[in-house]
Structure 1
């Protein structure tokens, strides 16, 4: 097995691209200041996203730092090629659900999911959900830092810890700049660069390591189980690798904000379907990168470094482009989730503390929250052993604590205030308790928290139906 060797020459390509992102952020920040843009511009990009930007920003949000360092990348590294390839199931299911819900999401005309929940379940539901969503969002931000830390480490050799701190500062600065207009535009830049860079780099990578025959023969010799369908996992664990992301996406505030921010229903659906189609390229390619990386580097690198390590084997320009896009993905995903959490704090919580606040005051509070939450995300990062562990924890809290109530509010007329609030409390509470107790019986948290939260929603709602006249 080989050791990961830093490639300083690729750093120049990464720096050039990151400077382009910072320049874009500065441009929109200046533009926002000149136009004196308000809350709607900051959080919803003035509700004017076009089709190309809609595809780009939704794609980058979906295939962000989680795809680069966790998700299908880590699954392919840990459990074999098939586990990574089948990560494509997630966008097919979740984007289809969001396409179906798009008209209702736009009708809600809400800045946040918590606002949407308030219309169905009341003000308490808005407060409870805002806290759950902000917790999940900030946790998701945390592993974006580590993702970029891996990238900078691969190009500089500087310890990952210091690289992660640099990423923390960069993500916070960009999120503070121009709101969703900045994030959506830089998302689109990153998404299209990522698709192109990964696709061009894969055949070069295969040739560099000795051909696909070498990859398969190495797997057969070192870990033959990685070539099987389940890769040594049980069916339950295999499904558990995909379910948290599917449930998160179906009610993720980031997608709801982008759906509302699109010019119209058709534009929003083009963004969602474009993302689904692009994932048919990205997910298999990422899985191949990670699987090749496992055969080449073995256990000398962490699963989160798989794609990044493989990129260092490519020629300088191609490898630099892949790493640039990966870096940009982690940054823009971090921006998106910080911005989304700030929307929860400002619109759902601060507005109750100070109902007479002006838009200018709300934006100041939002930016202050972004700074504080960005630092808290770094602290959260120190408590988890791997990127995949943070993903499952944050996705499960959101998927069990929020998704049943949100989908119920949108499509089930019999859902009641008591049912929705009970579902959120039980789903979130069970997620935290089950994880804290070490997943008793070896049962993944999602298989406990989500079904019970869904049952609570249905049972309590049916038991508290208003009496007919």
Structure 2
């Protein structure tokens, strides 16, 4: 079947977009300082916390990349299994959530600075910019896909419009306005996915027809992937989540440790619902639209189910993509403001000056993210690069602070430097042997952390 745009879907996108903007503007009036802008005044309750954690993590990376693209291109079980690294990561974060809240910092770089010093803080800021600008770029592209199926405009034009919307919402109110819209969007998309999945399977001719049309290998445990290829998709997601500044900020923004526990349990439940359903819908879409860009699989199915359900789903998907883009833009701008501008350029900047600098910086980062969309062949390619450069450059050194107090300053800095360098070398070499860079750079970062700690500890004892 050919893609034929449905203009009726656009009204759902516009309607929900207007609702999000109004809600964002209302909550932005509660912002009076940086604590409100970045951590929502540490006031998030369990429902809003669950929603904002889910919506931030399940953005374009899920509905256009991750389980969507993997299920469409490689098989049903690898797509469903993509929830596994998220579950492992969430449970580990829940275990250390009290320690995260006790630190109460605005940025990951500030946490790293306390343990490893200003050099580590500066390196981490650069890594976060490299990774988060990449993540924001495919949120823009996700909106481009949505506007393409709902209006017929080119993906490129839709991407420009998506960039404008995301940049505006990120600028006006920070986390104080992002978190409530996240929560509403999270519940809307869960409802939309649950209703949509049986309808999409039915349009595909039923499960028996899907099974008959698909190559048998697409039903294998690994699909058409090798074990190394599968790990190459799963490992980056795990290591991004374990060190993701957005998640640490949201945990710090909760109003109590009990709220954090309840919110993360709700996050787990949401992931167990959303990820497998996204994979099922994308896998079914292969029989309806066999030749489309894999990133459009789930979005394209909104054209073949009843307009009301399709509109509900596409509005919720739009919301997830937009709020994820908001969050990562805000997070990257926070780093530059506090860890470069406030630490080196204007050490005596007032809170108001930092807030103004951050709001001016967000559009600049947004433009850079937009330019990045032209350098990668697919959403999945951008996603794997962004996840890996962060997962190798920051996560091992960051987790060691909470889990291994004996880790040394030299080890943390060495791990970060080698993690980033090995990722970039492997990526620019075109992933030799078809091996994802995460399977090279993350082990290098972890081994460096262990080995350098052992040798620098011995040196300390000798002296």
Could you tell me how far apart the structure 1 residues matched to 2:125 and 2:393 are?
A: 11
Could you tell me how far apart the structure 1 residues matched to 2:439 and 2:38 are?
A: 34
Shift of 1:296: 1.0
- Which of 94, 113, 116 is the matching residue for 2:111? 116
Residue 423 of structure 2 is matched in structure 1 by: 431
Specify the SS of the correspondent of 1:287.
helix
After the TM superposition, which of the residue ranges 386-395 and 350-359 deviates more from structure 2? 350-359
Could you tell me how far apart the structure 1 residues matched to 2:29 and 2:182 are?
A: 19
> What pairs up with 1:173-212 in 2 under 5 angstroms?
173-212=168-207
Could you tell me how far apart the structure 1 residues matched to 2:96 and 2:373 are?
A: 33
Contact 2:20 2:181 in 1 (8 A): yes
- Which of 68, 78, 82 is the matching residue for 2:77? 82
Residue 360 of structure 2 is matched in structure 1 by: 368
Residue 48 of structure 2 is matched in structure 1 by: 53
- Which of 304, 314, 317 is the matching residue for 1:323? 314
Residue 139 of structure 2 is matched in structure 1 by: 144
Contact 1:258 1:268 in 2 (8 A): no
Contact 2:204 2:287 in 1 (8 A): no
- Structure 2: stretches of 5+ with no match in the other structure: none
- Which of 350, 372, 384 is the matching residue for 2:376? 384
Contact 1:28 1:177 in 2 (8 A): no
Residue 275 of structure 2 is matched in structure 1 by: 283
After the TM superposition, which of the residue ranges 457-466 and 311-320 deviates more from structure 2? 457-466
Whether 1:244 aligns to 2:239 is no
Shift of 1:86: 0.6
Could you tell me how far apart the structure 2 residues matched to 1:187 and 1:96 are?
A: 21
Could you tell me how far apart the structure 2 residues matched to 1:312 and 1:80 are?
A: 22
> What pairs up with 1:285-434 in 2 under 5 angstroms?
285-299=277-291, 301-352=292-343, 353-434=345-426
- Which of 220, 227, 252 is the matching residue for 1:228? 220
Could you tell me how far apart the structure 1 residues matched to 2:264 and 2:446 are?
A: 26
Q: What RMSD over aligned residues (CA atoms) do the two structures have, in Å?
A: 1.1
Residue 64 of structure 1 is matched in structure 2 by: 59
Normalised to the residue count of structure 1, the TM-score between the two structures is 0.96
Residue 3 of structure 1 is matched in structure 2 by: 2
- Which of 101, 120, 139 is the matching residue for 1:125? 120
Residue 91 of structure 1 is matched in structure 2 by: 86
Residue 256 of structure 1 is matched in structure 2 by: 248
Q: For residues 333-376 of structure 1, give each alpha carbon's deviation from its aligned partner in whole angstroms, at most 9, with x where no partner exists.
A: 00000010011011111112111001111011111110100000
Specify the SS of the correspondent of 1:158.
coil
Shift of 1:327: 0.5
Specify the SS of the correspondent of 1:210.
coil
Could you tell me how far apart the structure 2 residues matched to 1:166 and 1:92 are?
A: 33
Contact 1:226 1:232 in 2 (8 A): yes
- Structure 1: stretches of 5+ with no match in the other structure: none
Shift of 1:302: 0.4
Shift of 1:441: 2.8
Contact 2:30 2:176 in 1 (8 A): no
- Which of 162, 167, 178 is the matching residue for 1:167? 162
What count of residue pairs does the alignment treat as equivalent? Answer: 460
Contact 1:136 1:398 in 2 (8 A): yes
Could you tell me how far apart the structure 2 residues matched to 1:90 and 1:441 are?
A: 24
Q: For residues 18-43 of structure 1, give each alpha carbon's deviation from its aligned partner in whole angstroms, at most 9, with x where no partner exists.
A: 110111111122343xxxx1010000
Specify the SS of the correspondent of 1:298.
coil
Shift of 1:468: 7.2
Contact 1:151 1:323 in 2 (8 A): yes
Normalised to the residue count of structure 2, the TM-score between the two structures is 0.98
Specify the SS of the correspondent of 1:145.
helix
Contact 2:28 2:176 in 1 (8 A): no
Specify the SS of the correspondent of 1:241.
helix
Q: For residues 56-95 of structure 1, give each alpha carbon's deviation from its aligned partner in whole angstroms, at most 9, with x where no partner exists.
A: 0000011111111000000000101111111121221010
Contact 1:414 1:462 in 2 (8 A): no
Shift of 1:442: 2.6
* TM superposition outliers: structure 1 runs of 4+ over 4 Å: none
Shift of 1:467: 2.8
Shift of 1:238: 1.1
Whether 1:458 aligns to 2:453 is no
Could you tell me how far apart the structure 1 residues matched to 2:321 and 2:109 are?
A: 25
